[in-house]
Structure 1
């Protein structure tokens, strides 16, 4: 095993810092050789692809992880559905809503809660350092970060 170059170490530290700031769990693994580094980078790329595929739901259209987390925390009221056309929640069955005790005011509160949820996440901006470009596809990372509702900027 050879000592890593300062540039390689800096790139690895910046990548780890970016993952930590974005809340992405990761494991530090020593690189044994250049071919091992290539294998590890390929594994990382495959894992990011898997994350993207796991996020694809809702009739083949991706459901944002932010909305998925919101709905896990605040279940969608009866009679309410997500509208792909308007990109918002819609009251689609007033009879079901009334039968389960939901009200128009409850629907409006749910829509308001979704707005607050999105605004709280949009206030966070993750900056991707240029060092990530040699390790992974920065566009894929940006897409994953934005899928959880956070803003992302790729530093030139």
Structure 2
């Protein structure tokens, strides 16, 4: 099934709490001070499936923090899955940290695929020679380059955002 990431004010998407494609009901949060009601910049989406809330500030998802990234494939090796889930959890707070973790995840995955796991670029090239589709190669290369830029001194891009990570 296609993944529909959570999007502000959409009526259906994959819930950031249960990861099920479900209808969402939106409401604005208010607070009362001395019997006067005030609007906040916080909105909530109520998931019909799990009955949990996601919290949004303006148009950005703030709780749960991992909400816009889909869960790992069940076939992902456990050591890779651990890094992926950590990256998923921090992507909104630290896109560079998430990119670095995803790069590490790919390096570990290369070992599971029978590659050396020492030079990701060489490992990806070997997979291409073995028939890896071009789209997957490009995705791996993007993750490799962004991850490298996140961890190597002198190459930090402070403009990285969660969409790039």
TM-score between the two structures when normalised by the length of structure 1: 0.29
Greater relative CO, 1 or 2 (CA 8 Å, sep 6+): 1
TM-score between the two structures when normalised by the length of structure 2: 0.28
Q: Per residue, is there more strand in 1 or in 2? A: 2
Larger radius of gyration: 1
